[in-house]
Structure 1
């Protein structure tokens, strides 16, 4: 498919359009009692978006109307609620979007029950994307739990904040990240490097199998999702021919000249599946905004010295570059990788553009796919995590 060339100035930044389709399904069981299965927190449910059936408990914080929009008054329908681990949560990245099917709308729909906001709810259903966001669909049980809490604290942000990482605790803070919690700047950077440098190193052939696992399409287990183009493609169509997918180094391997040798050249925290021709177009360019439209990659732009990915993965790209800059500090036989504000880094061990990457990190918080990917790498492949997926706010704590 050829995409008409579009030229955009560097001042034209993130423009995102979301096409949403809400499907109303009949529940398998029209019960209002929760399942006896182990109950997950919202954070755990967001990290397990693989279609499994689970029971989740959280507080109702509003009605989702778009991928990054949750309204807290003036409700428009009874078909969905957003729940979180805190009744005062305002960051959509820490909310689970729950589909409310017909059997439960009289009790759990916010249009009919506006006083539900702030109440604890337990729901059982399939953990899968809803509104292109971490969700729970096709509920088989929903129930109210606990007493009505006191007045919900007034949010410090607007009711529909722009998505921005604001921090907060995580399930690995008391264990994996224990030595980093509470630090900023150089001290935080040093602590994170010491934590994530302990990893299992893959060879370049193993990367093929790793990517088939880490980037599996949640809607089709036979496919992977390509990073820049967003296309779902058969896992078996990997290779070097036209329309195949290959192994894209998000931190361009020539920036530091580490190639594909075991180490930074095989670290799947920054290796992603991508269409061969789109990968070629990106080449070893730095990241920045602007340029002409890229064929077969709707929403991507490129010019002589930079590449701009589609909006949905801008934050993913930023956090992968940040991971590489912290993981590879020049103390293990590899170059000291650094982020700078240049788009002409050539073979130097630098990658840009820092100011743009920081903006992308704020504008596109980690979604369920990115969080699952981080977990799979930790559990099954390398044994280390990308700290900027778990704590996006650490980017500004380090780079300002």
Structure 2
């Protein structure tokens, strides 16, 4: 999978630093830091507190009333966090306490934190409200597990904005854009980067793959499950045909056209780089479509050969893949684009991978 920085490199220490400690420890170590949002840096010695021009950075301090920039830590805000933590979009964030995780290194030629991998709203007393995510999109899910968590997540991601199947073409050009070439998309199973406009039905064109096979529940390309971008990906036409409606499992013979991909009569094993992506898309579909509002009740199960039943397997394999291939920035960026520009809902298992085990343990 093409990523901007390694998932492994973003794992942080569990103990948070104060801002003053972080300022003293500018050694590029990965750390979590807690502080109050006090403004947006514009230079090494200047922080503005209103009329913010963008969502790219913020300054935090140990006191919400701090005005001395030497007592502030400058935080870089990657694209996946800007909608929730950028001050242009969220000016009311000023004065709130947050926790940020990333590399302790200079930003704006000032003590800072870059390559930010996590940003969390905290309660005023520095606690975590309900597990560290109070006041966020997932507020109603925090502290839950099992079927209770699944229901809470369903209620959060349900009723998203739906798009037509014809509009999926243009959406995929955006969601699956090659981070190294804005003219291309990355194809899911082959990993090939090719022109965004080489879609179609010809040899080596790309088309729209339903990762949750659309025959599993027979929903076709109808708006809703049939056009849900969280499980639609660009794939090579013939590779898509080879996959067909097979369930996911390990084993089989080399597919041939897609590297490190195996298949047999009833299962499909994609390359290692996207195994986790596939698993998290299947888990999303299970939680999103629960049979209310006249929709199908889609369920992941532990078998293959599910045919037209509204089931998809194989659960034990998908759990293995989820752990084997952690979330990376291609997935995070995709989740953000779908949320901000199209459906306005998120895949919770990209944001919170730990919730997979909390539901399917």
TM-score (norm 2): 0.68
| CA-CA distance at 1:122 after TM superposition | 2.7
- Are 1:245 and 1:276, in contact at CA under 8 Å, matched by a contact in 2? yes
Which residues in structure 2 correspond to 1:106-255 (within 5 Å)? 120-123=104-107, 144=111, 169=132, 174-255=135-216
Runs of 4 or more, structure 1, over 6 Å off, are: 40-43
Helix, strand or coil for the counterpart of 2:106?
strand
Query: Does 2:57 correspond to 1:38?
Result: yes
| CA-CA distance at 1:177 after TM superposition | 0.7
Larger RCO, structures 1/2 (Cα 8 Å, 6+ apart): 1
What do residues 250-303 of structure 1 show as CA deviations (whole Å, max 9, x unaligned)? 000000000001110000000000000110111100001111112221111111
- Are 1:258 and 1:334, in contact at CA under 8 Å, matched by a contact in 2? no
Helix, strand or coil for the counterpart of 1:269?
helix
Query: Do the aligned partners of residues 122 and 341 (structure 1) sit closer, same or farther apart at CA in structure 2, a change above 3 Å counting?
Result: same
Q: Tell me the equivalent position of 1:361.
A: 322
Aligned residues: CA RMSD:
2.4
Aligned residues: 263
Q: Tell me the equivalent position of 2:63.
A: none
**5+ long unaligned stretches in structure 1:** 1-32, 50-83, 87-94, 97-119, 125-140, 147-167
- Are 2:176 and 2:334, in contact at CA under 8 Å, matched by a contact in 1? yes
Matches of 1:198 and 1:211 in 2, distance apart? 21
Q: Tell me the equivalent position of 1:324.
A: 285
Corresponding residue to 2:299 among 335, 338, 353: 338
| CA-CA distance at 1:46 after TM superposition | 7.1
Q: Tell me the equivalent position of 1:392.
A: 353
**5+ long unaligned stretches in structure 2:** 1-42, 47-55, 60-73, 83-98, 114-130
Q: Tell me the equivalent position of 1:159.
A: none
Query: Does 2:238 correspond to 1:287?
Result: no
- Are 1:34 and 1:122, in contact at CA under 8 Å, matched by a contact in 2? no
- Are 1:371 and 1:389, in contact at CA under 8 Å, matched by a contact in 2? yes
- Are 2:58 and 2:75, in contact at CA under 8 Å, matched by a contact in 1? no
TM-score (norm 1): 0.62
Q: Tell me the equivalent position of 1:272.
A: 233
Query: Do the aligned partners of residues 35 and 266 (structure 1) sit closer, same or farther apart at CA in structure 2, a change above 3 Å counting?
Result: farther
More helix by share: 2
What do residues 80-119 of structure 1 show as CA deviations (whole Å, max 9, x unaligned)? xxxx945xxxxxxxx66xxxxxxxxxxxxxxxxxxxxxxx
Helix, strand or coil for the counterpart of 2:139?
coil
What do residues 222-277 of structure 1 show as CA deviations (whole Å, max 9, x unaligned)? 11100111100101100111110000000000000000011100000000000001
- Are 1:293 and 1:302, in contact at CA under 8 Å, matched by a contact in 2? yes
| CA-CA distance at 1:38 after TM superposition | 2.6
Helix, strand or coil for the counterpart of 2:78?
helix
Matches of 2:155 and 2:175 in 1, distance apart? 24
Q: Tell me the equivalent position of 1:304.
A: 265
